[in-house]
Amino acid sequence: MDKKAVLNITVTPKSSRSLVTSDDEGNVKVYLNSPPIEGKANKECIALISKKLKIPKSRVSIVKGEKGRSKRIEVKGLDSDDVLKLIKE
């Protein structure tokens, strides 16, 4: 399990829906119901991404941007192409 993907994502908290999506350029956007208070949005973000990718939450982590809308996440066990393919499904 040496593979890992590092992706830049944009998060929209307090959205009406929970959704992980990507556009044709491979920009990943995550829409969250949670407000950005006490890490709730970050927890939902990790849970949503792990559910979409069908992997355990422990394999998804935020490596940069804990407090901002632009985040960098790391996914262990998949490469970037795998992650983007799964998100587009």
Where residue 36 sits, what CATH number does that domain have?
Answer: 3.30.1200.10
**Residue 55 — pLDDT band, cuts 50, 70, 90?**
very high
Quick: pLDDT tens for 79-88.
999 999 999 9
Q: CA-to-CA distance for 23 and 78, rounded, in angstroms?
A: 19
Number of domains in the chain: 1
Enter the pTM of the model.
0.93
Within 1-89, strands assigned E span: 4-12, 19-22, 28-31, 60-64, 70-76
Residue-number span of the structural domain to which 21 is assigned: 4-88
In sequence order, what are the residues at sequence separation of 6 or more whose Cβ sits closer than 8 angstroms to the Cβ of residue 65?
A: 71, 72
| pLDDT at 26 exceeding the cut of 90 | no
